Amino acid sequence: MKPINVGLIGVGTVGGGTYAVLERNQEEITRRAGRGIVVSMIADRDLEKARQLAGEGVTVTADANEVVSNPDIDIVVELIGGYTVAKELILKAIDNGKHVITANKALLASHGTEIFAAAQKKGVMVAFEAAVAGGIPIIKALREGLTANRIEWIAGIINGTSNFILSEMRDKGLTFDTALKQAQKLGYAEADPTFDIEGIDAAHKLTIMASIAFGIPMQFEKVYTEGIAKLTREDIRYAEELGYRIKLLGLTRRTPKGIELRVHPTLIPTRRLIANVEGVMNAVVVKGDAVGATLYYGAGAGAEPTGSAVVADLVDVTRMHTADPKHRVPHLAFQPDLLSDTPILPMEEVETSYYLRLRVLDKPGALADIARVLADLGISIEAMVQKEPSEGEEQVDIIMLTHRAVEKNINTAIARIKKLPTMTGKVTRIRMEQLGGK
Ligand code: NDP
Ligand code: HSE
């Protein structure tokens, strides 16, 4: 059979990795796909970089529009990132009847509804395995492997850069800035690394996973998002002393009142497998009603791991290319006209447990005052540690772990505690999850 023609737009980290994997494993990939998959056109702003990569017979251009308009191209692979140009190119490719593969989670989380609707209308596929958790086939697992289940919750370490920074700070004592620079050098970070460290990238990925898991529209604007930039080495150390590790977690959970959708640093018991996921590795735990808890682990960023996911999509799209569009797996797992309007739970209504660090004067009654504030709001303390004051210091750190409480009550408690006369510093609050099988 005639090979399928691919136009690759963007040959940076992921584009380069995709090309390398496709070249190296061409023979096996052809045997799997049932026909050859050939990159016949490459576009990149940096023409020289594209020329160096391209094999014989590959057309190279600096103008990506030439790829999406080329009638010989069957599949367009968008790997430039960003919202504006990438969106225009994808919509144009769809309009020209081409299938699209993208790793652009930012674009899908914000404009996925429009893009999938356009693809549905045109009868083409938009595949995006690489958009969530790099090389881990989590989209495939959620959309197909777990399709029998009513998904209860998903918790994931889904930003490689943040996890890499946290691991380097804890294990090697690197500063935040040094660790971030290394992540950038290794090609893990987004073009704007604040997306990684402020939790925005994880929120994009969580939006996509929640949509597939619960059959709800993409609602990126409703994700509660808090990054790792304010975490201190003291909190990382205190958490360890208490048997917990701090991870940037994306969490979505079905509750009777609505769906939780949140990204924030989280204390996880060190005995959990997911707490031991280090460096650029990602891990996602999915709890289904029938299967129970399942865990997916692998490289969350980088050239070839992400290229692996892009090539998997290439094989899938090639296999399904000639199938009747009605018989394909829906983009977001659920039939597009059967999405649910289950509300997203406001963060104030979310219930979880908390780590609180309070800096207080080492005076009688300081602890009792704090305990009273918590008790008045029905917040129960699970564990508490008071640190020895340093030589000559009059202030001490008190660390408290609470039982589950509603976020708005904790907010009120923190506001009241801050006003206590014995308080000398700010109150640090980090959420805590047990992530058991329940
Ligand atoms: P890079 O910056 O490494 O690569 C992007 C490439 O596209 C660059 O060569 C860039 O050129 C080129 N480019 C940008 N705009 C245009 C344009 N308008 N026309 C032609 N070429 C263009 O990014 P990554 O490979 O890291 O990321 C690509 C996508 O994959 C993003 O959506 C990202 O979020 C996603 N992703 C990245 C992962 C990773 O590990 N890096 C993992 C999973 C997803 P120039 O350098 O001149 O700007
Ligand atoms: N910047 C992203 C990360 C790339 O660090 O996880 C993979 O999506």
Contact 261, 220 (CB under 8 A): no
Nearest to 262 by CA among 245, 249, 277: 249
Ligand at shortest distance from the CA of 81: 1
Token pair 């609707």: residue: 117
Whether residue 416 lies inside any domain: the answer is yes
Tell me the one-letter amino acid at 417: I
- Distances in whole angstroms, Cα of residue 239 to Cα of each of 143, 144, 247, 429: 35, 37, 11, 12
Q: Is 92 a catalytic residue?
A: no
* C-alpha torsion 316→317→322→324, nearest 10: 90
Contact 209, 159 (CB under 8 A): no
Whether residue 84 lies inside any domain: the answer is yes
Tell me the one-letter amino acid at 433: E
Find the 277 Cα to ligand 1 centroid distance in Å.
26
| Domain identity same for 267 and 393 | no
List, for the chain, all residue ranges whose pLDDT scores fall below the cut of 50. Answer: none
Nearest to 273 by CA among 131, 156, 164: 156
Nearest to 320 by CA among 144, 168, 188: 144
Find the 387 Cα to ligand 2 centroid distance in Å.
37
Tell me the one-letter amino acid at 329: V
| Chain Cα centroid distance, residue 254 | 18
Domain end point (choices 312, 338, 364): 338
Find the 230 Cα to ligand 1 centroid distance in Å.
28
Q: Provide the pLDDT for residue 438.
A: 55
Contact 437, 374 (CB under 8 A): no
DSSP string, 4-32: EEEEEE--SHHHHHHHHHHHHTHHHHHHH
| Domain identity same for 291 and 308 | no
- Which pairing describes strands 258-269 and 224-225: parallel, antiparallel, or unpaired? parallel
| Residue-number span of the structural domain to which 50 is assigned | 4-135+303-338
| Domain identity same for 124 and 250 | no
> How far apart are alpha carbons 405 and 45 in whole angstroms?
51
Nearest to 137 by CA among 309, 333, 1: 309
| Domain identity same for 288 and 157 | yes
Whether residue 291 lies inside any domain: the answer is yes
| Domain identity same for 40 and 71 | yes
What's 332's domain CATH number? Answer: 3.40.50.720
Q: How many domains does the chain divide into?
A: 3
Mutate to test the pocket of ligand 1, among 60, 66, 78, 80 (most ligand atoms within 8 A of CB): 80
- Which pairing describes strands 244-255 and 258-269: parallel, antiparallel, or unpaired? antiparallel
Q: Which protein residues are within 6 Å of ligand 1, measured from CB? A: 9-15, 43-46, 64, 79-81, 85, 103-104, 130, 134, 187-188, 190-191, 301-302, 306
- Under DSSP, is residue 42 helix (H, G, I), strand (E, B) or coil? strand
| Domain identity same for 127 and 146 | no
- Which pairing describes strands 37-43 and 99-102: parallel, antiparallel, or unpaired? unpaired
Nearest to 293 by CA among 273, 277, 266: 273
Whether residue 343 lies inside any domain: the answer is no
Atom of ligand 2 nearest to the CA of 205: 8
- Under DSSP, is residue 235 helix (H, G, I), strand (E, B) or coil? helix
Give the model confidence (pLDDT) of 93-113 as tens digits. 999 999 999 999 999 999 999
Whether residue 437 lies inside any domain: the answer is no
What's 194's domain CATH number? Answer: 3.30.360.10
| Domain identity same for 221 and 267 | yes
| Domain identity same for 87 and 234 | no
Two tokens, residue 289 = 């009603």
Q: Provide the pLDDT for residue 340.
A: 96
- Under DSSP, is residue 68 helix (H, G, I), strand (E, B) or coil? helix
> How far apart are alpha carbons 262 and 414 in whole angstroms?
20
Find the 37 Cα to ligand 2 centroid distance in Å.
26
Domain end point (choices 338, 365, 398): 338
Whether residue 344 lies inside any domain: the answer is no
| Domain identity same for 233 and 325 | no
Find the 331 Cα to ligand 2 centroid distance in Å.
22
- Under DSSP, is residue 414 helix (H, G, I), strand (E, B) or coil? helix
- Under DSSP, is residue 56 helix (H, G, I), strand (E, B) or coil? coil
Two tokens, residue 317 = 């799209």
| Domain identity same for 119 and 143 | no
Atom of ligand 2 nearest to the CA of 130: 8
Contact 17, 304 (CB under 8 A): yes
| Domain identity same for 366 and 384 | yes
Write out the H or E segment, with its range, that includes residue 281. Answer: strand 281-288
Domain end point (choices 311, 338, 365): 338
What's 368's domain CATH number? Answer: 3.30.70.260
- Under DSSP, is residue 181 helix (H, G, I), strand (E, B) or coil? helix
Whether residue 62 lies inside any domain: the answer is yes
Contact 50, 60 (CB under 8 A): yes
Two tokens, residue 104 = 């652009």
Q: Which of 87, 105, 140, 205 is catalytic?
A: 205
pTM for this model (two decimals)? 0.97
Whether residue 101 lies inside any domain: the answer is yes
Ligand at shortest distance from the CA of 19: 1
| Domain identity same for 172 and 292 | yes
DSSP label at residue 390: P
Nearest residue by C-alpha to atom 1 in ligand 2? 189
